[in-house]
Structure 1
Amino acid sequence: MKPYPLKCNPEFKDRVWGGRALEQFGLALPEGPIGEGWMIGDHPNGTTTVANGELAGLGLDRIRELYGKTLFGSKGFSEKNGRFPLLIKLLDCQDDLSVQVHPNDHYERLPQGELGKTEMWYILDAKPGAKIIYGLQEGVTREQLAAAIADNRIMDCLHEISVEAGDSFYIPAGTVHALGAGVLVAEIQQNSDSTYRLYDYDRLGLDGKPRELHIEDSLNVIAYEGSGATYMKTELSGPQQWLTLVQSPFFITEKGRVEGEWSLQTVPDSFVIHIVCEGTGAIRWADGELAVKAGECFLLPANLGDYALAGSMTVLRSYLP
């Protein structure tokens, strides 16, 4: 089989905080408040199937079994569970998300085969005044946080930041965080669905019942001395240049502006994932061309080799370190 850029059928997740904003990308959403589109995933809670080309109809898990390191690269597997190592999402936050934290790979209470969750956010759009929670106030200890939770004053311990389109946030495991209402986000993360909720505004879930909190696990995994979280504005100096947003042990993510044609290539040790943030264009390679537009995500096999991005668009590029 000749390699080509893979586009997947998203797995959509209804969430109490979700909405319909992902429809602006031409996505056909199921009914209900859709908070998450899992665009590229190989997880028991959501495995995407390929929508185009020779591999159409196959799940990413089956492709992994059939073609292994040829397509995903010599580094393209989790050492812990053998699955595809990343999960790519688009998030529509019409309401505040729960205040939460994620464990690292080594937390002893993780489900069997599950990874920890280090992630990053790129803000695609934000309504005026939109905010996120990003870490604890300086100096907050486990004991102080536990007392604040018991007294229902956890918000006093949290660090809040105003956001706008183009902001980028690195969220290592152990970082307390929450997206706020009015943001549309591209998320690159470890292939994990492990979330511990500290606080959920006393609201009910879609089933009409209070959503579960995970206070003890949260207190256990928070990095009270700092997790290494960083954030940045991402204005680009010009087209055809990569700006590094995140360089983590699990993925590297860069932002670039395409104007005209930009010649690039994959290497044998890692796949490349492109998220189109805005604009339109095409991916060209030796055997074809694929039209692309904002909101679409593509998995470029490690053995694709030379390719080009063409058109006028802003893209994120993620690959393994």
Structure 2
Amino acid sequence: MTLYPLQFQPLFNYRLWGGEKLKTELGKDYSDNNIGESWEISDVDANETKVLEGDLKGFSLKQLIKQFKGEFLGQSVYDTFGDAFPLLIKFIDANTPLSVQVHPNNDVAKTRHNSFGKNEMWFVMQAEKNAELIIGFEEKITPSQLETHLKNNTILNVLHKEQVTKGDAFYIPTGRIHAIGGGVMLAEIQQTSNITYRVYDYNRVDKTTGQKRDLHIEQAKEVLDFEVYKTYKTNYTKTPNSSNKLIHSPYFKSNFLKVEGVLEKDYSKLDSFVIYMCVDGDVELTWNDKIYSLKKGETLLLPASIKNISLSSTSSELLEVYL
């Protein structure tokens, strides 16, 4: 068997804050209510996505890595991560706000959870009028003041809120307090981790359990970055048919790629797999004389062994992701 451009069967996850946009806006096929997350490419234990079509249909990421190693991941990526796929790729629909939360870094996550840390980024695909995100603190507080605000239900008063529109992008390093607000649909790129420390959850009860969700205040205090920063949003250019630098971190690199007409891509100098997330429009990818169609809300992975492809679209927007 040989490698080819791969699409995976998404996993749809119930969330008490989930809505219907993954179905109505992105055309996802599911019947459950309150689906908040579509896990597009996942190597999280018990939540592993499988190849959708072709000779490798049904293969998980671990099976692909075991069989193809550096040919699939890129040799440098394989040398670093071995059989573990380093990224988790999602689309998220927040009908109501997510919990206010924070993620641990690699060292803490490894020690406590035998997991990667969770550095992540958001790319806003759609936002209702006045929809906002919470990201970072608006004013400097201490851990004891944090506890007082939580006890008094005033924590939202000291958090930085940012109204968002389509195309806004944010990097959320580990330690940064954050929450997606209601009315926001976005693409999320993160390390492979499912570790979240909830700080505040609006005293909500989950209708599926009849219980409030657990909070993790003590763990959160140990990893929170209490600094206040001048800006949280990432500025970037949108030059057509060019890989515009979006967010480059030690954990992943992302570019904004607007395709108009035909674009030839050459990855011969890149020792990594490449993931395309289509965040608007639709595009055709040609490799070895075969056409792969990608529309808004779909994701495709190019194994590292594929170096030359062609993209064609009247107008589409992609996130280009690699290590």
Tell me the secondary structure at the aligned position of residue 95 of structure 1: coil
Structure 1 residue 287: deviation in Å?
Answer: 4.3
Structure 1 residue 262: deviation in Å?
Answer: 0.8
CA contact (8 A) 1:77 1:85 kept: no
Distance 1:109 1:53 in 2: 36
Deviations 1:189-246 (A, max 9, x none): 000000000000000123110000000011111112368984135552x311222111
Distance 1:229 1:162 in 2: 13
Distance 2:296 2:110 in 1: 39
Tell me the secondary structure at the aligned position of residue 194 of structure 1: coil
- Tell me: CA distance 1:166–1:301, structure 2 relative to 1, closer, same or farther (3 Å): same
Please say which of residues 26-35 and 272-281 is displaced more in the overlay. Answer: 26-35
- 2:186 maps to a residue whose letter is V
| Structure 1 alignment gaps of length 5 or more | none
Tell me the secondary structure at the aligned position of residue 64 of structure 2: helix
Tell me the secondary structure at the aligned position of residue 319 of structure 2: strand
Corresponding position of 1:318: 321
- Tell me: CA distance 1:42–1:108, structure 2 relative to 1, closer, same or farther (3 Å): closer
Distance 1:129 1:41 in 2: 32
CA contact (8 A) 1:41 1:47 kept: yes
CA contact (8 A) 1:97 1:178 kept: yes
Distance 2:78 2:225 in 1: 27
RMSD: 1.9
Residue pairs, 1:1-321, within 5 angstroms = 1-23=1-23, 24-77=25-78, 79=80, 82-107=83-108, 110-205=111-206, 206-225=208-227, 230-234=232-236, 236=238, 238-267=239-268, 269-311=271-313, 312-320=315-323
CA contact (8 A) 1:130 1:163 kept: yes
Distance 1:310 1:138 in 2: 47
Tell me the secondary structure at the aligned position of residue 258 of structure 2: strand
Structure 1 residue 148: deviation in Å?
Answer: 1.5
- 1:299 maps to a residue whose letter is L
Please say which of residues 132-141 and 252-261 is displaced more in the overlay. Answer: 132-141
Distance 1:75 1:151 in 2: 50
Tell me the TM-score normalized by structure 2: 0.93
Distance 1:102 1:137 in 2: 19
Deviations 1:247-293 (A, max 9, x none): 10000111011011111123452100000111112011124211111
- Tell me: CA distance 1:103–1:240, structure 2 relative to 1, closer, same or farther (3 Å): same
- Tell me: CA distance 1:227–1:12, structure 2 relative to 1, closer, same or farther (3 Å): farther
Distance 2:320 2:90 in 1: 14
- 1:301 maps to a residue whose letter is P
Distance 2:214 2:288 in 1: 50
Distance 1:89 1:304 in 2: 23
CA contact (8 A) 1:166 1:235 kept: no
Distance 1:38 1:78 in 2: 26
Deviations 1:145-182 (A, max 9, x none): 12222332211221111011100000000010000000
- 1:305 maps to a residue whose letter is K
- 2:149 maps to a residue whose letter is A
| Structure 2 alignment gaps of length 5 or more | none
Structure 1 residue 112: deviation in Å?
Answer: 4.1
CA contact (8 A) 1:72 1:301 kept: yes
Please say which of residues 133-142 and 248-257 is displaced more in the overlay. Answer: 133-142
Distance 2:218 2:134 in 1: 20
CA contact (8 A) 2:75 2:271 kept: yes
- Tell me: CA distance 1:227–1:50, structure 2 relative to 1, closer, same or farther (3 Å): farther
Distance 2:252 2:230 in 1: 15
Distance 1:266 1:228 in 2: 36
CA contact (8 A) 1:76 1:84 kept: no
